[in-house]
Structure 1
Amino acid sequence: MITDIRLRSQQLVNPAFNDPKELVAWMGALQGQEYSMAKWAVGLRLKKPDIRKVEAALEKGEILRTHVLRPTWHLVVAEDIRWMLKLSVRRVKLAYDSYWKNHGISEELHIKSLDVIVRALEGNRYLTRQEIGEELSRAGVIVGDDLVGYFLGRAEVDSIICNGVDKGNKRTYALLDERVPPMKELHKEEALAKLAIKYFRSHSPASLQDFIWWSGLSITEAKQAVGLIDAELIKERIGETDWLIHHSCARNVRAKRVIHLLPSYDEYLISYKDRSMALAPEYYRKAFNTFGIFYPVILHNGKIVGNWNKSAKQKQFGVESSFFIPGIEVDEGELDKAKERFRVFNKGGND
């Protein structure tokens, strides 16, 4: 039951959206560490996966990639970026500052670097991380690449910058105020309720602990958020867990047989603190390691059953797969279809 509902709420069965922006708005935020895999996380949840539509939404700034919620990369829509950043800024900034507290980074240096970054990007300029590092060096801020990353991350959570238009295969940064028109500010209660709705309608069934993990909210804030949308949630105790299910999610349904090649860091796995519903604990290390690195995995009827990767063959686009559950029976024809969906997505949906 739990995985059946999740497959539907996460748009992995009977997807409802053609538009990448609408899909990301529905999901709330999609994990985005690996850029190409984040695009596939969007594409595989659309009615017709097409990388061109995803990249167009990113280029137009309808979808943005930035550090928000937990101190990590996420994809969010432009309309949501400011209120999400406002909810998470204190916690994410503390995480950044805690990491660098032993590196002698003063607030004065941060302010100076921010001034350089803003001046370098003004006028709708899109600069790569390397180009921004060069601007900092010219201004007398001698920094290594890691420190450039720190300054950029701080500028993101302070709502100063976000991603710009790609330069070839290189990511760029832009000023948020130039990339995204001003939006109506939300009061904290409005923002908490909105975040909870986005999570539970797209990730149900989930526990309070799952929501705390995904959102990065404090326990008090998460409980408040859930309380604010209490009328929209159905509570069910299954086993030892109290599950919360958004009323928009169909219950007591059986998802059809499904095989997907999930990208690394996919929401189906990473967005829950307890991942045992989708993956037996003895196989955790096959899907992610102790350093927080998540691998591309195969989803079979709601369960994670194996790994996949793009073929190492340079002249031919292909997918290699393997299974870590002994004796697993997987329809090879359906697996081939899943591989073909990934291939067609990366070819621009032309086949």
Structure 2
Amino acid sequence: MLTDIRLLSHQLAKPRFKSPKELVAWMGAIQAQEYAMAKWAVGTRLKSSSLQAVDDALAKGEILRTHILRPTWHFVVAEDIRWMMQLSGARIRTAFESYARSHKIEITGSDYIRGCNLLEKLLGGNNSLTKQELKDGFCKAGMEVDNFLISHFLIRAETDGLVCSGVDKNRKSTYALLEERVPPVKELHREEALARLATLYFQSHSPATLPDFIWWSGLTATEARHAIALIEGNLLEEKYDSETFYLHTSCDCKARCRKVLHLLPSYDEYLISYKDRTTVMQREHHPKAFNTFGIFYPVIQYNGRIVGNWKKDSKKKAPVVETSFFDEASNIPEDLLKKAIDYYCSFHTKK
């Protein structure tokens, strides 16, 4: 079945990897605007892990967090950040500049050059600073910026390959200079990059359609079709409900996955990386998983289907999970639910 293959592709059944870096490298990119939830998205796909292990990978620069692909935050591995940014940077920059103009936010060419020089000065020597610290540094140097302007400035600097994520400070994300954070790697020609992006997506998200790939990658329809054509020898085509799905040849098409239950974070790849989500949940339940403004909620996945919601009780210091189900008569096995909750709690407490 489609969901069985997808569970294996996503490493949500029979996970193959032990380290956060291996997992993110396999997935290609993991949406990460909710920082804490994105770390759990990595942890829930590993054989065994902890928040500390994910934090360590981020601190070492093995995993980076930046605006890439679609104009939102993603985790990527250091080796992939440059060629992915070459593919998507201009498109992301255009999207955010359009947003900035609509909110009367503007950075002149001279201001941008001055700001880049300031960034290099403030972050030089492998320094990691939060957005607030950078804002304070800009203002101290006589370049007045508010929260909107510094955010827009930093996104532009990301897409130009000047900055990326640095070492966290008290669980807060920071910025660092890309050239200091990531050793140089061999550049990919555009066609090599397109083929690589398609390979990463379909190996980790199969089965998926062309519209799914367009949505996830941010590529134009023409670019996405070309990327698929470049790796057509490594893809199979299957029809599900009259739709054409692509499967990477590395997929186990005979796989069957049962007794699989995960507490998936908000914005998890299992849902957000597809244009059509009816393959894993009934349309009538969509508003319980995401709203029309693009907000995605934490959900419960059982045997490939999205069956409910969960949340952490914010009033408790120790992780305490509350759950609810779309269909209270769904007969979710208590032992599987307890195992999933226990793993979530141990992930956040294990050293």
* TM-score, structure 1 as length reference: 0.97
* Deviation sequence 1:326-349 (CA, Å, 0-9, x none): 52111112101100010011112x
Residues 42-76 of structure 1, C-alpha deviations (whole Å, 9 max, x = no match): 11111112222211111100000000001100000
SS at match of 1:127: coil
What is the rounded CA distance, in whole Å, between the counterparts of 1:315 and 1:63 in structure 2? 28
What does residue 297 of structure 1 align with?
299
Secondary structure class of the residue paired with 1:169: coil
2:192 aligns to what? 190
**Matching residue of 2:15:** 15
Residue 216 of structure 1: how far off its partner (Å): 0.3
**Retained in 2: the 8 A contact 1:29–1:74?**
yes
Kindly indicate whether the alpha-carbon contact (under 8 Å) linking 2:5 and 2:255 is maintained by their aligned counterparts in 1.
yes
Q: What is the correspondence of 1:17-36 to structure 2 with a 5 Å cutoff?
A: 17-36=17-36
Amino acid at match of 2:29: A
Q: Which residue of 1 aligns with 2:87?
A: 87
The letter of the residue matching 2:308 is G
For residues 249-296 of structure 1, give each alpha carbon's deviation from its aligned partner in whole angstroms, at most 9, with x where no partner exists. 000321122110001110000000001111211111101111111111
Q: Are the equivalent residues in 2 in contact too, given 1:24–1:42 (CA < 8 A)?
A: yes
In the other structure, the counterpart of 2:311 is 309
Q: Does 1:155 align with 2:182?
A: no
Aligned match for 2:111, one of 109, 112, 120: 109
Alpha-carbon distance in 1 for matches of 2:230, 2:29: 20
Report deviation, 1:325: 2.5
Structure 2 equivalent of residue 329 of structure 1: 331
Residue 242 of structure 1 aligns to a residue whose secondary structure is strand
2:313 alignment partner AA = S
Shift of 1:150: 0.7
**What's 2:213 paired with?**
211
Contact 2:9 2:251 in 1 (8 A): yes
Distance of 2:187 and 2:338 partners within structure 1: 47
Could you tell me which residue of structure 2 aligns to residue 63 of structure 1? 63
Structure 2 Cα separation of the partners of residues 99 and 141 of structure 1: 22
Q: Are 1:346 and 2:344 counterparts?
A: no
1:37–1:264 Cα contact (<8 Å) kept: yes
> Offset of 1:114 from its aligned partner?
2.1
Q: How many residues align?
A: 349
Moved over 6 A (4+): none
**Would you say 1:50 and 2:47 are equivalent positions?**
no
SS in structure 1 of the partner of residue 176 of structure 2: strand
Q: Distance in 1 between matches of 2:311 and 2:174?
A: 27
Cα distance in 2 for residues equivalent to 1:123 and 1:166? 16
> Does the 8 A contact of 1:49 with 1:341 survive in 2?
no
1:41 & 1:52 partners in 2: Cα distance?
14
Cα pair 2:259 2:336 within 8 Å, conserved: no
Aligned-pair identity in percent equals 55
Seen in structure 2, the aligned counterparts of structure 1 residues 75 and 325 have a Cα distance that, compared at 3 Å, is same
Cα distance, 1:316 vs structure 2: 4.0
Name the residue aligned to 1:133: 135
Is 2:55 the partner of 1:39? no
- In 1, Cα distance between equivalents of 2:182 and 2:61: 7
- Tell me the alpha carbon deviations over residues 116-138 of structure 1, each in whole angstroms, 9 at most, x when there is no partner: 22221111111110010011112
Deviations 1:138-170 (A, max 9, x none): 222222112111111111111100011011122
1:115 is displaced (CA, Å) by 2.0
Distance 1:278 1:146 in 2: 37
Q: For structure 1, which segment, 94-103 or 312-321, has the greater mean C-alpha deviation from structure 2 after superposition?
A: 312-321
Distance 2:54 2:277 in 1: 28
In structure 1, give the amino acid aligned to 2:173.
R
Q: Which runs of 5+ in 2 are unaligned?
A: none
> What CA distance in whole angstroms lies between the structure 2 residues aligned with 1:342 and 1:222?
36
Query: 5 Å matches for 1:262-301?
Result: 262-301=264-303
Partners in 1 of 2:82 and 2:314 — Cα distance? Answer: 40
The question of 1:236 aligning with 2:238 is answered yes
CA contact (8 A) 2:130 2:174 kept: yes
After TM superposition, the score normalised by the length of structure 2 is: 0.97
| Residue 204 of structure 2: aligned partner | 202
Q: CA RMSD in A?
A: 1.2
Distance in structure 1 (CA, Å) of the matches to 2:348 and 2:318: 13
What secondary structure, in the 3-state scheme, does the structure 1 residue paired with 2:278 have?
coil
Distance in 2 separating the partners of 1:49 and 1:301: 22
Kindly provide the CA deviation profile for residues 291-326 of structure 1, in whole angstroms up to 9, marking residues without a partner as x. Answer: 111111000111111110112342443100011235
Preserved CA contact (<8 Å) 2:319 2:348: no
Equivalent residue runs for 1:170-185 within 5 Å: 170-185=172-187
Amino acid across the alignment from 1:336 = K
Corresponding letter in the other structure for 1:126: S
51-60 or 1-10: bigger deviation: 51-60
Name the stretch that deviates more: 110-119 or 66-75: 110-119
Asked if structure 2 preserves the Cα contact closer than 8 Å seen for 1:114 and 1:151, the reply is no
